[in-house]
Amino acid sequence: MRDRLILLPGWGLGTAPLEPLADALRGLDERLRVQVEPLPTLSSRDPAEWLDELDDSLPQDAWLGGWSLGGMLAAELGGRRGERCPGLLTLASNPRFVAGSAWPSAMPAETFAAFRQGCAADAAVTLKRFALLCSQGAADPRGLSRLLLGAAPQVAPESLLAGLDVLAALDTRAALQSFAGPQLHLFAGLDGLVPADAAAALLALLPDVEIGLIDTASHAFVLERPHEVAAAIQAFLHEVGDD
């Protein structure tokens, strides 16, 4: 199933933001089977339990990819599967979402803590704020945020909080370093959630993988610029011979 690509979504907004990208990829190569799969809806804050559920439910021997949190989970699952994963693809996905001394190119810890506190107090208001942050830097940020929110599923507040805790706990650097297959990591130059300099930091960590930056794009570039993102992915898949 090396002609299959599984895409995982980001936190809170469901699978809809990835569907235009999946359609664009199918349009570029009818042989490529693209599946957008939802994240687990767990109350567990343990990333291993989320990965266990994904490992049990997702096909083996498929490329793994994802947007933001979905990309982090794909990276960890790819590291776990090893040769049973032909390649990895991440989109606006930082190896660590929350900054620390070993990885400063991320969201400040105090900013994340305030965001989590807001989600615990009022999940609906926090999701609206999150959609605006995802759209920051887009040509039409308010229009893009409305698209993101309009298709967002109803998720229990405890699952949203668990997802934030998983997001904060994940550190995919070791998984990415151990993964021997091809990797493509795309970043957005005007991302309001993942600093653009995370791309350079990841390149320093992984000098032999493909890393790209779409300069004038938001965190939600999978929905804002699906055809441009799809073209970059398809070119990479063609280059490594898995088209």
Share of the chain above pLDDT 70, in %: 98
The CA distance from 143 to 155, in Å, is 22
Residue 243 pLDDT level (bands cut at 50, 70, 90): very low
The whole-chain average pLDDT of the chain stands at 95
Catalytic pick among 135, 145, 171, 191:
191
* Structural domain containing residue 32: 4-239
Catalytic pick among 68, 105, 135, 218:
68
pLDDT over 50 at 119, yes or no: yes
Q: Is the dihedral of CA 3, 227, 93, 186 positive or negative?
A: positive
C-beta of residue 67 within 8 angstroms of C-beta of residue 18: yes
Catalytic pick among 23, 219, 238, 243:
219
Whether 44 sits among the annotated catalytic residues: the reply is: no
pLDDT over 90 at 242, yes or no: no
C-beta of residue 74 within 8 angstroms of C-beta of residue 66: yes
pLDDT in tens, 173-217: 999 999 999 999 999 999 999 999 999 999 999 999 999 999 999
CATH number at residue 188: 3.40.50.1820
Whether 23 sits among the annotated catalytic residues: the reply is: no
Q: Report, as an integer, the average pLDDT of 14-40.
A: 96
Query: How confident is the model at residue 1, as a pLDDT?
Result: 44
Query: How confident is the model at residue 177, as a pLDDT?
Result: 97
pLDDT in tens, 83-103: 999 999 999 999 999 999 999
Whether 191 sits among the annotated catalytic residues: the reply is: yes
Per the structure, the count of domains in the chain is 1
